[in-house]
Amino acid sequence: MKNISPGLIASRRAALLRLPAVPALAALWPALPAAAQVPEPVFGTPGKDSGWIPTPAGMVEAMLEMAGISSQDTVVDLGSGDGRIPILAAKRYGARGLGIEYNPDLVKYSISVAEREGLSERVKFIQGDIFATDFSHATVVTLFMPPAFNLKVRPQLLAMKPGTRVVSFNFDMGDWPPDESVYVNDQRGMLWRVPTSVAGLWRLNFTDAGTNRDSPPHVLRVSQRFQKIEGDMTIAGERLALWDIRFEVDRLRFTVLRNTGRLQRIDFDCRRSGTALEGIMQASGEPARRWTATL
């Protein structure tokens, strides 16, 4: 890293990301060891949708930890800068890494660091525009980009395989709230898990032998905004609120309370499977029943 004063770094950072300067951040940027024969990147090097400002090393570690990276993951950094995120994901967790970076000098530098670390097989860098590069195979997407970029890339992220983790430093995803956050030196890293869609009007079909005939109609109405679920369950024409709703990626759990002379608690636990919902229903004092539902 070139010898740049913290004040200059903070003001350049503010200009690049259109944020108030946070001088304390400058102290967190680590010096990467020099890569052989490739000039070290200069803070503020231009890119396309933003210039280069690295995520602080401690935050990179915390974000990868929060994402639960393993050797099964493919970690793609959108705008990979000096390559630190895919390289650490491969080095520490044995993951595959890919960096997509617009600036060719940063790509050269990243490749040289990966080579020096003996990680060239596991970590690749592509010079190009994020919006012209396919990253749909990623199991984890990382980014440190301005808010407008996050909103622009959000539809692509939401279309990824359910369960894909998205990790962003400092900037959120608008009204898509994060599932988890981590704080390092007052800076925030955020994690989202791409949710599947469970929205719609689902008619339950009990699949235990013989039981469907004896069951009143059960219709589940689900409305969904990202990972936020609302809805109700109509049983035998009576509309009941969903209580204690829990939804994560493709698993939906909730409770309904039904008055059948006594207040009966009924727990539902289901997953999206192809075009169906598949689950169990457990009414208090009764055996659990299996069901599937279609739209």
Ligand X SMILES: C[S@@+](CC[C@H](N)C(=O)[O-])C[C@H]1O[C@@H](n2cnc3c(N)ncnc32)[C@H](O)[C@@H]1O
Q: Is residue 222 close enough to count as binding ligand X by CB under 6 A? A: no
From 10, 62, 75, 81, residue interacting with ligand X (rule: CB under 6 A):
81
Give all strands of the β-sheet with 228-235 in edge-to-edge order.
238-241, 228-235, 218-225, 200-206, 289-294, 276-283, 263-273, 251-259, 243-248
Q: Give the one residue of 9, 25, 26, 53 binding ligand X; rule: CB under 6 A.
A: 53
The reply on whether position 106 binds ligand X by CB under 6 A is yes
State the minimum distance, in angstroms, from the CB of residue 210 to ligand X. Answer: 58
Q: Which one among 29, 62, 77, 198 touches ligand X, defined by CB under 6 A?
A: 77
* Minimum distance, C-beta of residue 66 to ligand X, in the bound complex (Å): 15
> Taking contact as CB under 6 A, which single stretch among the options 45-53, 116-124, 210-218, 219-227 is the one that binds ligand X?
45-53
Among positions 26, 54, 229, 277, the unique one binding ligand X when judged by CB under 6 A: 54
Residue 105 interacting with ligand X (CB under 6 A): no
Decide: is 89 part of the binding site for ligand X (CB under 6 A).
Answer: no
Which of 74, 103, 112, 150 is close enough to bind ligand X by CB under 6 A?
A: 103
At closest approach, how far in Å is the CB of 165 from ligand X? 15
Closest approach, Cβ 44 to ligand X, in A, equals 10
Q: Would you count residue 144 as binding ligand X (CB under 6 A)?
A: yes
Binding site for ligand X (CB under 6 A): 47-50, 52-55, 77, 79-81, 84-85, 100-103, 106, 129-130, 144-145, 169
